């Protein structure tokens, strides 16, 4: 290894953390097996049934360390205004004193793993190199699944000093000494006191979104919390879509959708389930690559009905975190198919029965698995140029407000749809569940800079570009007065994607409403669905009073950005209020 910048940094970290030994990870299968065997011996991993679940293991994290800790996640930009009101800010000087010292001698008695990794396809000009230093074998093994790790990353880097530095230590796992700090100007990440995925796998949300979003702002591209999917019609034409939903709102299910029998000839191809890096191509279109190589999906609720491809994917070579285990040593979680077992070992390692008061699997339990194992994985996932995007889809959980689907009138209106997104919170982040919060572009926890500037960057990216994607908003979760979902969801969501596809290709006319363009009568296929007689009218009804109330909440949120908030977004906000006025 002849990269002087990297070698010097590793030596500097070793001097501070004082590990017993330093291991440079090469990403080989042999190395991975060695990491697994060492974790089985020390109890970090538990072996599952190797016949039914070949190469699969269970990890149990500390009960205080089970989700992203947004309140302990900081943007350490030079100026507080550059972090903005949606981020926690800490000055770099304070961070070096408060967080930096927690790494002093933090790896004594442990191994320090140096993990070079490539975000994006090998050979792609869109790909970026990161290096994570960690004292967790679980992190090193998971990074091999989630990224293109080892030799391929070092070859891409060469002698350059242009790489994202990530330093992670488990510390003592004390929540009082747990911090995830990002230094966007330095392309540096510090994480201490947590072993949980999103806090510890620094290539994921930390680099691929928080740091990469600032890189995208500076370099003229986008790093987004979006799935990438290809929708193939019966004649073989594939249209690529990016969609943004808050965590645990069905993003992975949509990315791996299995078309139902009611939609013969249609196919869905999975390019990515969580993150998209988007650049303008030579043809003026927006092209996307998936920077990741694996899936870190939410387990509870995953079943043959909701996501059969995910179930098939995790049958081998998977690290499960905080799921339950059956007597046969099979993974189990709430929402799985079949009867609930009479006895389980819960996510904390305790005996569990259906009479137990707590869930058997943690609501945010996860699976970490290579994407190439997915039955619907796209042949273009590793294409250096990526795939051309024809539509953006924004969505969230709104029980009463948002209609099933509608389209923006133009690019600025589309950016407004993303900027005004709101969703009911889930278990993917610590805090209350079921509270509606603004979550623009599903990026609120992940944008590494002021979101007012972020909205402006979105507006500028598409200004004057006729070949940019159309923008849509969807809501699979609308309910009737009895609290029942009005739309069947899951595979039947393909019917909505078909209308989006028809709009992209000029085959559907739609009709104008106060909110945007709705499907015209008969354009949305509902044949064969067991819908209540009034379901479709309810799915597309506009409660003007409720929308006026939501606009007031939008106004307060947008106002928090002060003069950073683009006037174009305010203009769209005022226009909607005008459209809704009697």
Residue numbers in the known binding site for substrate are 68, 196-198, 247, 364-366
User: How many whole angstroms separate alpha carbon 66 and alpha carbon 321?
Assistant: 9
Unique residue bearing structure tokens 């993990």: 115
- Give the ranges where 201-268 is alpha helix by DSSP (H): 212-219, 251-255
User: Sign of the CA dihedral 539, 545, 549, 551?
Assistant: positive
- Assess contact for 304 and 311: CB atoms under 8 A: yes
Residue identified by tokens 């996860």 is 366
Under a CB-based contact definition with an 8 Å cutoff, are residues 224 and 244 in contact?
A: yes
Q: By C-alpha distance, which of 422, 53, 508 is closest to 245?
A: 422
DSSP state, 236?
Answer: S
Q: In this structure, what token pair is assigned to residue 373?
A: 């194992």
Annotated binding residues for GTP, as ranges?
Answer: 248-253, 366, 397, 490-493
**What letter would DSSP give residue 485?**
B
Integer-rounded Cα Rg, in Å, for the chain is: 23
Q: Which residues are annotated as a binding site for Mn(2+)?
A: 205, 225, 274
CB 322 within 8 A of CB 66: yes
Residues in the annotated binding site: 68, 196-198, 205, 225, 247-253, 274, 364-366, 397, 490-493
Q: What is the C-alpha to C-alpha distance for residues 312 and 295, in angstroms, rounded to an integer?
A: 13
Helix (H, G, I), strand (E, B) or coil at 468: coil
Query: Residue 274: which residues within 8 A CB-CB, separation 6 or more?
Result: 204, 225, 226, 227, 251, 252, 292, 295, 296
Question: Does the active-site annotation cover 368?
Answer: no
**Catalytic-role residue among 249, 368, 374, 447:** 249
CA-to-CA distance for 255 and 177, rounded, in angstroms? Answer: 36
Q: For 120-163, where are the E strands, in sequence order?
A: 128-134, 148-149
C-alpha distances in Å from residue 358, one per residue of 27, 351, 361: 38, 11, 9
CA 509 – CA 512 distance, rounded (Å): 10
Q: How far apart are CA 266 and CA 237, in angstroms?
A: 10
What is the rounded distance in angstroms from the CA atom of residue 81 to the CA atom of residue 87? 10
- Cα distances (angstroms) measured from residue 271 to each of 126, 255, 393, 460, 485: 15, 8, 15, 26, 29
Active site residues: 249
């Amino acid at each position: 290894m002849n990269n002087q910048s990297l070698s010097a940094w590793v030596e500097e970290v070793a001097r501070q953390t004082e590990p017993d030994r330093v291991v440079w990870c090469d990403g080989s299968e042999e190395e991975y097996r060695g990491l697994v065997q060492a974790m089985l011996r020390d109890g970090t991993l538990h072996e599952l049934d190797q016949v039914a679940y070949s190469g699969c293991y269970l990890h149990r994290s500390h009960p205080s360390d089970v989700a992203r800790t947004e309140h302990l996640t900081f943007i350490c930009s030079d100026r507080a205004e550059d972090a903005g009101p949606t981020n926690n800010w800490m000055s770099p000087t304070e961070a070096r004193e408060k967080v930096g010292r927690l790494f002093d001698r933090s790896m004594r008695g442990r191994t320090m793993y140096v993990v070079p990794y490539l975000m994006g396809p090998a050979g792609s000009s869109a790909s970026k190199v990161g290096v994570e230093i960690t004292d967790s074998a679980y992190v090193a093994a998971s990074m091999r699944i989630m990224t293109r790790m080892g030799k391929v990353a070092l070859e891409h880097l060469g002698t350059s000093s242009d790489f994202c530095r990530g330093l992670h230590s488990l510390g003592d796992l004390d929540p009082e000494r747990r911090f995830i700090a990002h230094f966007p100007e330095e392309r540096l990440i510090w994480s201490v006191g947590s072993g949980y995925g999103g806090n510890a796998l620094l290539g994921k949300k930390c680099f691929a979104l928080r740091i990469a979003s600032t890189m995208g702002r500076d370099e003229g591209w986008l790093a987004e919390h979006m799935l990438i999917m290809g929708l193939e019609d019966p004649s073989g034409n594939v249209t690529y879509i990016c969609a943004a939903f808050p965590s645990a709102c069905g993003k992975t299910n949509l990315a791996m959708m299995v078309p139902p029998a009611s939609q013969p000839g249609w196919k869905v191809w999975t390019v990515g389930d969580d993150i998209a890096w988007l650049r303008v191509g030579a043809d003026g279109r927006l092209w996307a690559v998936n920077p990741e190589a694996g899936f870190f999906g939410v387990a509870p609720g995953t079943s043959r009905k909701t996501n059969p491809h995910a179930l098939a994917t995790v049958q081998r070579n998977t690290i499960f975190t905080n799921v339950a285990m059956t007597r046969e040593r099979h993974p189990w979680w709430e929402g799985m198919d079949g009867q609930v077992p009479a006895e389980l070992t819960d996510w904390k390692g305790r005996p569990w029965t259906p009479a137990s008061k707590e869930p058997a699997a943690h609501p945010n339990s996860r699976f970490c698995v290579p994407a190439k194992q997915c039955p619907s994985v796209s042949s273009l996932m590793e294409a250096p140029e990526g795939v051309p995007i024809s539509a953006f889809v924004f969505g969230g959980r709104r029980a009463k407000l948002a209609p099933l689907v509608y389209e923006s009138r133009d690019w600025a209106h589309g950016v407004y749809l993303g900027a005004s997104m709101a969703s009911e919170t889930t278990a993917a982040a610590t805090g209350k569940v079921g509270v509606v919060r603004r979550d623009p572009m599903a990026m609120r926890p992940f944008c590494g800079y002021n979101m007012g500037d972020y909205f402006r960057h979105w507006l500028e990216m598409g200004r004057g570009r006729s070949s940019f994607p159309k923008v849509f908003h969807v809501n699979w979760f609308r309910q009737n007065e009895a609290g029942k979902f009005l739309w069947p969801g899951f595979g039947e969501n393909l019917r909505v994607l078909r209308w989006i596809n028809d709009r992209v290709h000029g085959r559907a006319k739609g009709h104008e409403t106060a909110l945007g363009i709705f499907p015209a009568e008969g354009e949305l296929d509902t044949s064969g669905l067991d819908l209540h007689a009034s379901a479709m009218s309810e799915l597309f009804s506009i409660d003007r009073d409720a929308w006026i109330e939501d606009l007031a909440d939008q106004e307060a949120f947008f106002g928090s950005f002060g003069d950073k908030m683009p006037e174009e977004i305010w203009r769209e906000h005022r226009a909607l209020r005008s459209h809704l006025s009697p």
